[in-house]
């Protein structure tokens, strides 16, 4: 069986002909979680398996979590890729500006301007991100975009979040500038905290 959900959407699984009590488990609780009564809740974008066990019988159900906010271009997350590869990939979204150790791109979405930035060290991509002028609409859409794709690790302010990908390969930080005029979203490899902090200090 397969069910499709969105972030925070729910569906109850019904196990027919169960031999006694049924216990449920999720292969990846970040993508979809399940309660003792079989209610599945969508987490972040992806696909996972829910298992229902009753006696010696095990039934499986595939859960796909889809996104609703799809018009913001996903940044290219090829950490470690060289400049040429990254430039080729991001050029699909529009014109690329080159500076020393950086690639930049201005993308307009629904009348809002988003500046994408890709940072390189020794010719390899170490991080990327985007920034935009703070408006109620752009902020809400970006927070929703991130909540649908990344797991919240911490929330330190009204619009300050730390996220991680469900497979723990990418760390994401959302934070306003000091004067709250712009919002910055930064993507770096999810390694130790020290290397994340060092990379983040190079952005914006």
Q: What is the pLDDT of residues 10-59, one digit of tens each?
A: 999 988 877 789 999 999 999 999 999 999 999 999 999 999 999 888 99
Mean pLDDT computed over 4-13:
96
- In this prediction, residue 25 carries a pLDDT of 97
Give domain status of residue 133, yes or no: yes
pLDDT above 90 for 3: yes
In which residue are the tokens 């994408």 written?
116
Q: Both 89 and 38 in a single domain?
A: no
Per-chain mean pLDDT for the chain:
90
Indicate if 93 and 163 belong to the same structural domain: yes
Alpha-carbon gap, residue 91 to 105, rounded angstroms: 9
66, 91, 109 - which closes a domain: 66
33 plus 89 within the same structural domain: no
Beta strands at 102-109 and 57-66: parallel, antiparallel or unpaired: unpaired
Residues 36 and 87 in one domain: no
Check whether residue 105 and residue 27 sit in a common domain. no
The pTM score is 0.88
Torsion of CA 77, 83, 89, 94, to 10 degrees: 110
Q: What is the mean pLDDT of residues 77-85?
A: 95
Q: Domain tally for the chain?
A: 2
Give a yes or no: residue 76 inside a domain: no
Q: Is 185 helix (H, G, I), strand (E, B) or coil?
A: strand
Boundaries of domain holding 128: 83-200
Residues 116 and 178 in one domain: yes
Q: Which residues contact 194 (CB under 8 A, 6 or more apart)?
A: none
Residue 72 within a domain: no
pLDDT of residue 133: 92
Is the pLDDT at 141 greater than 70? The verdict is yes
Helix (H, G, I), strand (E, B), or coil: what is residue 128? strand
Tell me if 179 is assigned to some domain: yes
């Amino acid at each position: 069986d397969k069910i499709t959900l969105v972030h925070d959407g729910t569906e109850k699984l019904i196990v027919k002909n169960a031999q006694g009590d049924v216990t449920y488990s999720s292969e990846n609780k970040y993508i979809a979680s399940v309660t003792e009564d079989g209610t599945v809740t969508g987490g972040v974008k992806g696909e996972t398996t829910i298992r229902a066990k009753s006696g010696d019988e095990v039934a499986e159900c595939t859960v796909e979590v889809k996104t609703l906010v799809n018009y913001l271009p996903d940044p290219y997350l090829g950490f470690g890729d060289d400049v040429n590869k990254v430039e080729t990939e991001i050029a699909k979204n529009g014109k690329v500006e080159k500076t020393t150790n950086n690639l930049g791109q201005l993308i307009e979405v629904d009348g809002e301007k988003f500046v994408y930035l890709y940072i390189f060290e020794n010719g390899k991509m170490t991080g990327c991100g985007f920034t935009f002028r703070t408006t109620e609409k752009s902020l809400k859409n970006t927070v929703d975009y991130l909540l649908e794709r990344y797991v919240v690790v911490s929330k330190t302010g009204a619009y300050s979040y730390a996220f991680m990908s469900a497979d723990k390969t990418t760390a994401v930080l959302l934070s306003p500038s000091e004067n709250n005029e712009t919002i910055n979203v930064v993507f770096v490899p999810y390694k130790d905290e020290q290397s994340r902090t060092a990379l983040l200090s190079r952005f914006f």
